[in-house]
Chains A and B, each alone.
Chain A
Amino acid sequence: MSFLEYAPAPESTAILNLKPEYGLFIGGEFVAGGGESFSTISPATEKPIARIANADSGDVDRAVAAARRAYDKTWSKLSGRDRGKYLFRIARLVQERARELAVAESLDNGKPIKESRDVDVPLVAAWFFYYAGWADKLDHAGLGANPRSLGVAAQVIPWNFPLLMLAWKIAPALAAGNTVVLKPAEQTPLTALLFAEILQQADLPAGVVNILTGAGDTGRALVNHPDVNKVAFTGSTSVGREIARSTAGSGKKLTLELGGKAANIVFDDAPIDQAVEGIVNGIFFNQGHVCCAGSRLLVQENVHDEVVERLKSRLSTLRVGDPLDKNTDVGAINSAEQLARIRELSAVGEDEGAERWSPACELPAEGFWFAPTIFTNVSTSHRIAREEIFGPVLSVLTFRTPAEAIAKANNTPYGLSAGIWSDKGSKVLAVADKLRAGVIWANTFNRFDPASPFGGFKESGYGREGGRHGLAAYLKGSK
């Protein structure tokens, strides 16, 4: 131990009441899947948690049919006020079962319990609460009077924020009057299935939300289903492209929230201690499995050495380990596959001449782990400065002038997020104007709020989630 000794402080899993196996949630009931079921494992121990059903194309047909029936017969006929009340119920049930959901999330995903408990799950409740209030106010959503819902929404979400991404998708879809078929990631299906139980407790009409577990084939069958009116996807840019191609000409409304390679720009007049905290939060939050992670640190040259030194000292205090331990700062990498990718790109970083550094830390023997890593002496052409690593790996680059910082920050096909650190407000606003990114955090990073739209420019996708603009993704103007 290099910093302070901490006794283990694990959150108990006794609060969980998991079933050994979970079916698909179709038409308000759990049913068996047509495909071969699979195990979801804890990435911290590689131990199986539960068997999960695998939806085949017949299951996709049944789920879409259930959503269509619920749309035609129930949900589209319900008043906005009543739709809103169901969403408020869901928000409250999430709050009531918050600890259980947090433990399940950390178990299945590998993220630290302090994040699932203090960030993910509270935001899930907040998301439903926020959109609940919109359900009977759609005339004010910015699409003119009497905007209409789209119909059946197919939603495919990633493994990095399993329950939070579910909330980002389902809450606005239902508020706007659509019904939903959602596919969680195959690595992290658990909390979506607990959420299905919450929907039963909320007495949400059958078929309004259907949850299909499975892998890429299930997702492909879902987004390409002819009776789907809306496709919402969060995930990699390559899969986003594939979906944009396959839905071309179909008339399905498409929103995509894809990858990023965010610049976190630190000027020499920044409050350095706060900036270091922001840099750490920007790239090591959720093990760096964040599409908007501040993975490229751009530091003004004259403070580079100081920033890197303080950053290293701060990283030496991070505790990597058991996600369920309340003192853990950095949890497990979500999967063996993701770990392999992080290792591969980090090796490329070294081969291309960047300097690699990690704090001394003991990693558990079981499970998937990667120590927080910084690369210095990185140039813009290096792959670690261009490709999304999606792990706890920071590339440090330098600049001399604001113009150079802006040019380097924008030198990427992505455009999801960016950070600016400076005590000079006029400089912050001028730089923010020039950055081609959908979310810009000034003197903070990785803040999320249901009232605040989130989404990218360029190849980070299109459409927004959150706020008034997040509703527009699920509505059309009435003509």
Chain B
Amino acid sequence: MSHVSVPKTYKLFIGGAFPRSESGRVYEVTTPKGVFLANAAQASRKDARDAVVAARAAVSGWAGATAYNRGQVLYRVAEVLEGRRAQFEDEIVRQEGVSASAARAQVDEAIDRWVWYAGWTDKYTQVGGNANPVSGPYFNLSVPEPTGVVAVVAPQDSSLLGLVSAIAPALVPGNTVVVIASEAYPLSAITLAEVLATSDLPKGVVNVLTGSAAEMAPWLAAHADVNALDLVGASALDWVDLEIEAAQTLKRVLPPEEGPDAAAPALARITAFTELKTVWHTKSLL
């Protein structure tokens, strides 16, 4: 007797929970040939704001964790990703319509990037900061610190790798993230959220919204409790308008990138969402 499958309900990921959109809306996710795959939640402005609240609440814990601890948690994400690679490969094939080997390569690279970024948590401070030889009796040290809440428009033409490439570097220094997933390929994002939910990542550190980036991005760009905006996947949106919105609260903004090298692994993606803090302390004159 054949097994009747139990399809997954793809919901949002906010504050460590998997709620439906408060709006009650869903949209159809299909294969490139139009075959129905799932009804994904179509997140609303309210969902985006709830996600920012959850992300803000998570900042002090995540930023305050030791770098070693953040590194281990991020490495564990890679471990759990590896364990669920079959599910990711299957979803990539179905959403993107690519071959199994292309899907496998994408998952391989996604896992490797998590590992690469996990290793940066206790090193970016050394590479990005330094002592300053000021002219006077002062101990003077510059150290990069996390910016706070980072809103991300994930690459739209990649289901898993683009998403991972955008959120992992923001997490390294201790930022929390609200990410708008690829509108056409949202399933991998929610499955990744399941990985994050079971990888010791504190709730609210990553919040995943699915639905219309054009609808949600302006609210995040204008939100006064968002510190930075990564527009890496926003090239098809009116992204200059988003940057103009972001200027109202002087958010740090990364521009759109296109092509296969979008959000390529780089230290600059980590430091883009850090703030350099310089502390002067007097030394006694002995």
Contact = CB atoms under 8 A, between A and B. Distances in A.
A442 B243 CA distance: 36
Given A245-B247, A468-B130, 5 more contacts: A142-B127, A240-B250, A449-B134, A451-B132, A469-B142
18 contacts: A142-B128, A241-B248, A245-B244, A249-B244, A432-B279, A438-B275, A439-B277, A442-B279, A443-B281, A444-B138, A449-B136, A452-B132, A452-B134, A461-B250, A462-B250, A462-B252, A467-B278, A469-B142
B132 A439 contact: no
Interface string A430-466: 0010001111111110010101111101110110100
B239 interface: yes
Contacts of A165: none
A442 B280 CA distance: 6
Contact of B250 (A249, A256, A442): A256
Given A241-B247, A462-B252, A452 B140 contact: yes
B227 interface: yes
B142 A452 contact: yes
A449 B239 CA distance: 38
Interface string B227-238: 100000000000
B268 interface: yes
A415 B252 CA distance: 14
B249 interface: yes
Interface of B: 127-128, 130, 132-136, 138, 140, 142, 147, 227, 239-240, 243-244, 246-250, 252, 255, 268, 275-282
A248 B243 contact: yes
Contact of B135 (A126, A258, A458): A126
Contacts, number: 101
A213 B136 CA distance: 35
A451 B248 CA distance: 31
Contacts of B133: 451
Given A237-B250, A244-B250, A449-B132, A444 B280 contact: yes
Contacts of B247: 241, 244-245, 248
B232 to A, nearest CB: 15
B268 A477 contact: yes
Contacts of A198: none
Interface string A387-431: 000000000000000000000000001010000000001001100
A453 B132 contact: yes
Contact of B240 (A248, A469, A477): A248
Contacts of B138: 444, 447
A440 B276 contact: no
A464 B140 contact: no
Given A241-B250, A248-B244, A459-B250, A442 B132 contact: no
B282 A444 contact: yes
A249 B256 CA distance: 10
Contacts of B268: 477
B101 to A, nearest CB: 29
Of all A-B residue pairs in the complex, the 6 with the closest CB atoms, nearest first, are A249-B240, A244-B247, A248-B243, A449-B134, A442-B281, A245-B247
A142 B127 CA distance: 8
Contacts of A413: 249
A251 B256 CA distance: 11
Contacts of A468: 130
Contacts of A455: 276
Contacts of B249: 413, 459
Given A249-B239, A451-B132, A468-B130, A440 B250 contact: no
A454 B275 CA distance: 11
